[in-house]
Structure 1
């Protein structure tokens, strides 16, 4: 086993990890949680009186 075999193994492992993360991110099971998180920056804190009073 030389360094090129190790490089190939790390490349394959990295690709599998990437595909796993992509599958997790695109799964329907997580869609509602991600949609809620995507709306967080647009929440209106001042309407509830929680913003800073300047």
Structure 2
């Protein structure tokens, strides 16, 4: 077994790992978790910046 065989085997293993991660990411079991993660930036509507604007305008 020479270095080219090892490189070929490594390439095939990395490709198989890539396909495995791709299938895991697109599986229906993970959809809800990924949807929740995608909405995390919008979860906290009461930011300090918004509270400061309300104080400045007198709407507390």
**Which category of TM-score, normalised to the shorter sequence, fits these structures?**
0.7 to 0.9
Normalization by structure 2: what TM-score?
0.74
Q: CA RMSD in A?
A: 1.3
State the aligned residue count: 50
Larger radius of gyration: 2
Taking the TM superposition and a 5 Å limit, the aligned residue runs for 1:1-54 are: 1-46=1-46, 51-52=47-48
Normalization by structure 1: what TM-score?
0.82
> Which structure 2 residue ranges, 5 or more long, are not aligned?
53-60
Q: Which runs of 4+ in 1 moved over 3 A?
A: 51-54
